Every structure is written in C-alpha cells, then in structure tokens.
Amino acid sequence: MGMFKDMLGSGESIFRDTTALDFDYIPKLVPYREAQQKQISLCIKPLVDKRNGRNMFIYGPPGVGKSVVCRHLLKSLEDEEIDDVIPIYINCWKKNTFFKIMLEMCDILGYKFTHNKKSEELFGIVKDMLNKRSVVFVLDEVDKLEEQDFLYNVLEEIYRKTVIMITNHKEWIVELDQRIKSRLTAELLEFHPYTKEETTGILKDRLKYAFVPGTWEDDAFRSAADKTFQLGDVRAGLHLIKESGNIAEDGSSKKVTVEHVKKAIEKFDEFNIKDKEELEDDTKFMLEVIKRHSGKRIGDIYKEYQKDGGKAVYKTFQRKVDSLAKSKFIAVKKITGGSEGSTTIIMHTGAVKKLTDFE
Ligand SMILES: Nc1ncnc2c1ncn2[C@@H]1O[C@H](COP(=O)(O)OP(=O)(O)O)[C@@H](O)[C@H]1O
Ligand SMILES: [Mg+2]
C-alpha cells in the first residue's frame, strides 16, 4: 500500500453526495413551506394570464428557507416551460450596484455586447427584451443594494412584472427611498423559524442524500438536529452536519457519533466567538458602550461613547453601527416621526456573530 492509502485508510467514504449539503443546493421539494409557495405563486399568476403581477416583500431571520422557496419556484417556472414569464434571480449582496445588476441580467438573458456600455444603456437593451414578455424578479438580500436606481427603473419601465424582495431586516422597507415607496405596492410575507419537528425533518431528508445509509448514529443525528433548532438556522445545521461527517472521516470512523457532532458544535461555537475577538479595537469599544446603554437612541449612545473617550466622528460611528447590526452583534430599530423626528434605537443582542454572515 502507498503512503497516502496507508495514512488515510482504504475504507469507502461515508459521504455519498456532499452537494446535498451545499447552501445553494435546491432540493426537489421544499417541505413545510407549501403555504408560502402558494402565496408567492398567486402574486405571479396574473403574469401567466398576461396581466401585471403583484409584488411581494419577504422577510424573516436567516436560514428559514426564504431563498430556497423562491429559487425553487423560479426553477419550476423554467422547468414547466412557461415561456412568457422570464425568471430572474439576483443576489443583491453579490450584485450591489445598478451596473453589476445590469451585467448579471445581460448574462442571464444571453446578451453579450456589454463592453463599454453604461448602466442606463444596458438597461435600455434589457428593457426591450423584457417588455416583449413578463418577468419575475427575485431580489435576494435586497437590503444590501447600494443604490436604488435599479429598483426605480424596474418599477417605472418594466410593464408586466412581479418583484419579490427578500430581506432579513424588515426595517429596510421603512427606509426605502420615497420615490420608490410611492411606486411600490407589495404584499408582506413573513417566514418564521421552523419547529423542532420541521427542522429535524429537513435535516433528515438532506442527510439521506448526503450520506451512505446507516452511517449516522441516532443520538448523533438528534444532537445535531437539536442544536440546529436551538440556532433557528437550517443553514448552520447543514454546516454542522457536514463538519461532523468530516470529523468522523478524519478519524477514519465508519459512523458519525455523538462525539463527532460534539466536536463540530465546539468548533462552530469557537469560530463564532473568535470572530468577535477579531473585531477592530474601536468597534469592540463601541460594542461595550452599546451594551451598557442598550435600548437608547443612537445620538445618546454616541455622546456616551465620546464621554468614555471614543474618537470616531459621528458618520464613522453610524457606519460601524450599521456593520455591527448586519453582523447581528446589535439590533437597530428605526423610529420615524416621533417628537424629535426620526431616530434609531440600538440594542445589544448578546449574540455572537453567526456563521451565515460569511457566505
Ligand atoms: N423547507 C426546507 N426544505 C429543505 N431545505 C431547506 C428548507 N428550508 C431551508 N432549507 C435549506 O436551508 C438552507 C438555508 O435556507 P435559505 O433558504 O438559504 O434561508 P434564508 O434565505 O431564509 O436565509 C438552504 O441550504 C436550504 O436549502
Ligand atoms: Mg437567503
């Protein structure tokens, strides 16, 4: 036997198909979300009948199936060859400017001559293509858009459409630019975390595809499912399951045991805490101040921060508040129209950063 085989052992892998654990894998069915799928389909239905569609705003915490439900639906539109309706999925975290979105859309629509063209020009071309038919836009992580021109243009110039916007932050809709808000009527659809039974069911299903049957001990699976339910995030759960499998395989074990899962959980928790330690010093200091004054207005917290020796100007402070909120260290709540006008309330969440923010 060669050195590698010697070191690694010659056993077969416990994994059958790891793609089933990938975050962007689209399962054949999306159980427990039938009602939501139905509601979204109803927004799209008018398009099939050559009328204008309805818009929708989907919100809820990370890892509860918002993206997968929408992507599954777009895929069905494609598979069922509903030719008159063009499905367009855009992840606004990755494509966060008008120009990047236009390039992506040209790519989806197969238009190649994008060189030296500006956003507006590309939009003109795309618009002509889209207005011959109807369109379903899914704008995922829509709050990550740096500019709202794209939304404005779509609402103004695409005739038959359904715009589905997904976000983890419901507040975003309140902050939308007025010229967009006045053009946008959207139904709201909230996604709640899965129950314990649902979480277990989803993971069990994925496990079936990803691993050779019988490789997971019952209590190992149960502890992974419990942790996932506790986190309320299926994405984190899939990560845990993959990691547990890797740990088992690294130890040349033919079974995934409770011990492997325990190690994977430790690694997961440790990773999340370490991340907090790596925060910039001033940001860490800010976080301490926020913790002491949790629930107060941003302006007042800034004053406390200065009093304690903080040096950042208000704009920088605000920017850091945004990024702390995005990473879930704090929660912010916008209040509009109070006696002192609009303001932001900041709350320390006590949470350590979630893995899901790294994708
Ligand atoms: N009902 C479900 N059935 C199967 N897989 C699911 C289900 N809900 C979520 N998932 C899986 O969990 C992960 C996170 O779901 P996702 O839709 O990306 O969450 P969100 O967009 O709400 O953050 C994805 O890998 C997804 O495939
Ligand atoms: Mg998502």
What is the per-residue pLDDT across 128-164, written as a single tens digit (0 to 9) for each?
A: 999 999 999 999 999 888 888 999 999 999 999 999 9
Q: Which of 7-21, 210-224, 302-316 has the highest mean pLDDT?
A: 210-224
Q: Which-ligand-closest: CA of 234?
A: 1
Separation of alpha carbons 252 and 141, rounded Å: 40
Q: Are residues 91 and 110 in the same domain?
A: yes
Residue 356 lies in a domain: no
Residue 105 sits in a domain whose CATH number is 3.40.50.300
Q: Are residues 119 and 39 in the same domain?
A: yes
Torsion, Cα of 298, 303, 308, 312 (10° steps): 70
CB count within 10 Å of CB 346 equals 23
The alpha helices in 28-148, defined as continuous H runs, are: 34-48, 66-79, 98-109, 119-130
Nearest ligand 1 atom to the CA of 205 is 4
Residue 267 lies in a domain: yes
Q: Are residues 111 and 242 in the same domain?
A: no
Residue 308 lies in a domain: yes
Report whether residue 208 contacts ligand 1, using a CB cutoff of 6 Å: no
Residue 173 lies in a domain: yes
Q: Are residues 156 and 226 in the same domain?
A: no
- Judged against a pLDDT cut of 60, whether residue 4 lies above it is answered with no
Q: Are residues 184 and 311 in the same domain?
A: no
Q: Give the tens place of pLDDT for each residue, 236-277.
A: 999 999 999 999 999 999 999 999 999 999 988 877 665 565
Report whether residue 67 contacts ligand 1, using a CB cutoff of 6 Å: yes
- The residue whose CB lies within 8 Å of the most ligand 1 atoms, and thus the one to mutate among 90, 205, 235, 354, is 235
In single-letter form, the type of residue at position 222 comes to R
Split into its structural domains, the chain has a count of 3
Q: Are residues 179 and 109 in the same domain?
A: yes
- Judged against a pLDDT cut of 70, whether residue 45 lies above it is answered with yes
pLDDT at 295: 87
Choose the final residue of a domain: 276, 296, 315.
Answer: 276
Q: Are residues 171 and 267 in the same domain?
A: no
Tokens representing 160 are: 């038959």
Q: How far is CA 162 from the centre of its chain?
A: 20
Going by alpha carbons, the residue nearest to atom 4 of ligand 1 is 30
Choose the final residue of a domain: 276, 298, 326.
Answer: 276
Mean pLDDT taken over the chain: 88
Q: Is the dihedral of CA 93, 327, 242, 190 positive or negative?
A: negative
Q: Are residues 186 and 208 in the same domain?
A: no
Q: Are residues 174 and 39 in the same domain?
A: yes
Report whether residue 354 contacts ligand 1, using a CB cutoff of 6 Å: no
- Judged against a pLDDT cut of 90, whether residue 175 lies above it is answered with no
Q: Are residues 109 and 130 in the same domain?
A: yes
Residue 144 lies in a domain: yes
Q: How confident is the model over 51-63, as a mean pLDDT? A: 95
Going by alpha carbons, the residue nearest to atom 9 of ligand 1 is 65
Q: Are residues 183 and 44 in the same domain?
A: yes
Residue 270 sits in a domain whose CATH number is 1.10.8.60
Q: Give the tens place of pLDDT for each residue, 64-99.
A: 999 999 999 999 998 887 778 999 999 998 899 999
Residue 297 sits in a domain whose CATH number is 1.10.10.10
Residue 26 lies in a domain: no
Q: How confident is the model over 344-348, as a mean pLDDT? A: 85
338 — pLDDT class (breaks 50, 70, 90):
low
Choose the final residue of a domain: 190, 213, 229.
Answer: 190
Q: How confident is the model over 302-324, as a mean pLDDT? A: 88
Q: Strand 55-59: give its sheet, edge to edge.
A: 85-91, 134-140, 161-167, 55-59, 186-190
Report whether residue 23 contacts ligand 1, using a CB cutoff of 6 Å: yes
Q: Could you write out the DSSP letters of every residue in 122-165?
A: HHHHHHHHHTTSEEEEEEETGGG-S--HHHHHHHHH-SSEEEEE
Q: Are residues 76 and 154 in the same domain?
A: yes
- Judged against a pLDDT cut of 50, whether residue 359 lies above it is answered with no
Separation of alpha carbons 339 and 241, rounded Å: 50
Domain that holds residue 144: 34-190
Rounded to two decimals, the pTM is 0.77
